[in-house]
């Protein structure tokens, strides 16, 4: 089972390129074989993650279309029909009354039990697909980080790295991603000067 970060990284490091259904795109080819391998591994992991996400989404839609978890949520208790016209002292007394406290405790227990039943039903219906998707997301993330942190050997490789980052994060670049790009840009700019 790929449960730990170390096991996931080991899987990324030894993943054979033959496991990828198609070769890496020509746009990522550079003068560094390790860069090419990391990009190919990430591309393979990314495609696997997308396939597993699609399978999960399909299973989830099918479950929802079939009615999903149809049990209604417990109804929250009301303090009183005339609560809006009560004075502060009357509201405090009503909230502190043993009957109200007991109804609230009962409601909270009912909601917790309802949530547990809903989680169990979802687990039966979509758990396997969700587990596969989560595992694939972990592998893809580790493959992405390995590719991102490796120095881009060419401007074309840097463009590929940037495209992958934009696809993965949109406009939400973290500082570490921005620093990785800046370091590559400065290094490659120095080569061309």
3-state SS assignment for residue 3: coil
Mean pLDDT estimate for the chain: 80
pLDDT above 60: residue 61: yes
112 contacts: CB under 8 Å, gap ≥ 6? none
pLDDT at 30: 54
Q: What is the pLDDT of residues 64-104, one digit of tens each?
A: 888 888 889 999 888 777 677 888 888 888 888 888 889 89
Question: pTM to 2 decimals?
Answer: 0.59
Mean pLDDT of 115-144: 91
**Top-confidence residue, 134 or 165:** 134
């Amino acid at each position: 089972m790929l449960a730990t970060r170390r096991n996931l990284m080991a899987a990324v490091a030894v993943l054979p390129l033959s496991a990828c259904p198609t070769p890496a795109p020509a746009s990522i080819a550079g003068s560094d074989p390790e860069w090419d391998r990391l990009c190919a591994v990430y591309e393979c992991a990314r495609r696997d993650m997308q396939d597993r996400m699609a399978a999960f989404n399909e299973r989830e839609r099918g479950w929802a279309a079939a009615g999903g978890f149809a049990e209604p949520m417990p109804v929250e208790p009301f303090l009183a029909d005339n609560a809006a016209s009560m004075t502060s002292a009357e509201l405090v007394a009503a909230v502190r009354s043993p009957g109200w406290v007991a109804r609230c405790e009962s409601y909270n227990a009912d909601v917790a039990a309802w949530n547990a039943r809903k989680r169990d039903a979802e687990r039966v219906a979509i758990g396997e697909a969700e587990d596969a998707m989560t595992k694939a997301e972990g592998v893809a993330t580790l493959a992405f980080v390995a590719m991102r942190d490796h120095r881009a050997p060419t401007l074309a490789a840097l463009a590929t790295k940037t495209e992958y980052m934009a696809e993965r994060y949109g406009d939400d670049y973290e500082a570490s991603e921005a620093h990785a790009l800046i370091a590559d840009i400065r290094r490659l700019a120095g080569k061309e000067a």
